[in-house]
Amino acid sequence: MPTDASLLFLLGLAMATPGGAAAAHPAIRPQSQRGIIFPKETFDECFVDDAQKMPGSCKLLQDCPAALKQSIPKTCYFVKFDQYVCCSNPSYSNGTQVAPTTLKPPTQRRSVRACEESGYITVSVVNGRATVYREFPFMVALGWRSSFDESIHYRCGGSLIASKFVLTAAHCIDFGGQVPVTVRLGGDNLTMGMGVDNQIRRIFMHPAYDEKTAYNDIALLELEMDAPPSLVPVCLWQHAKLAEKELTAIGYGQISFTGLSSSQLLKVDLQHISDDLCQDYYTRELLAEGLAASQLCAGDTKGKGDTCQGDSGGPLLMRSDSIWYLVGITSLGQGCATGPPSIYTRVSSHLDWIESVVWPEPEVQTVDPHFDLRISF
């Protein structure tokens, strides 16, 4: 005889199961703080028929031929925009169980996993607008120690992409024969004692970078300490094609060509410029091999906004589905808001190298740094 408590429990289960959904037994676990739910390595169990006598498995709709033939297949759940449906279990044939086939979920890039686990949803800039406090918590200013005293001068930007790693431009590393020694995290005003200071531990430059060219202009800084949890890293865009044409550049650089730098973080709206149009502005004298696939162009079509001196290494951002993505690293330009678009290192082209340093695979030899500040400085 069931107790009152058990009847209430069963009633609650009946009310919680939508009429049109599959009677699934989810084995799911949250992988991020954005509410995105991913299945475990084994697919969920479900029943294909209403009588719950034909067992099935929750699979991607496109992986279930039988469901594709149905006008309204039974849905188990959604993962982002992917629909998982109840698919007849191949381990059953006319009621007889056969050996099951092991199915593996699609592999996921380490940088994508890091972005999801971070839970973050939601160059001088010429003619830029001031940002609000911690609008871009992943913004970083690179600091050099003065040769005359112990003061710090900030000359390049960067982006926090992991709790201990900053992504910047390779040409920022050897600035006047010196390497940066510290960073200021948080995207705060540089003259008001705000932000979080952190020392640089090691520096990794892209192995194909050549200071005589503008190609592979990308570097990584490993920090001495983890950034505070409130300073959430930026997500890395994974595709060569951008989802949006409208982009945003941020930085502390000069507010006009040869002008004064800004201590307040500024932002400017830019547009993605096609490779063909951008190439017209950059001759072989400026880019010996022309515009590479690992580079992208952005500018203000009205000629009012741009990145400038001091913005090098800073982020070019794209907002898609309420998430900020890092798509480019400020690399080079011609003047500031003078007409030609600026060139940025395309982040998606260097994901393999970035992941090998920041999120190395277990039992894989780690990448050696170009500078170890614990030893040399």
> Which residues is 93 bridged to in the sheet?
96
Cα 103 from Cα 372, distance rounded (Å): 44
8 A C-beta contact, residue 209 and residue 170: yes
Helix, strand, coil content of the chain in percent (nearest 5)? 15, 35, 50
Candidate list 57, 159, 312, 342, residue with the active-site label: 312
Query: Taking the CA atoms of the chain, what radius of gyration do you get in angstroms?
Result: 26
Count other C-beta atoms under 10 Å from residue 293's C-beta. Answer: 10
Does residue 320 carry a catalytic annotation? no
Beta-strand pair 323-332/235-236: parallel
Cα 366 from Cα 356, distance rounded (Å): 7
Cα 112 from Cα 105, distance rounded (Å): 15
Cα 231 from Cα 137, distance rounded (Å): 5
Does residue 312 carry a catalytic annotation? yes
Coil/strand/helix, residue 282: coil
CA 109 vs CA 51, 113, 173, 348, 359: distances in Å: 40, 6, 28, 12, 10
Cα 58 from Cα 24, distance rounded (Å): 8
Candidate list 44, 188, 217, 306, residue with the active-site label: 217
Cα 142 from Cα 182, distance rounded (Å): 6
Beta-strand pair 219-223/165-168: antiparallel
Cα 268 from Cα 304, distance rounded (Å): 9
Coil/strand/helix, residue 110: helix
What are the tokens at 263? Answer: 């201590």
Does residue 206 carry a catalytic annotation? no
What are the tokens at 11? Answer: 């009633």
300 DSSP 8-state letter: -
Candidate list 111, 124, 171, 331, residue with the active-site label: 171
Catalytic residues: 171, 217, 312
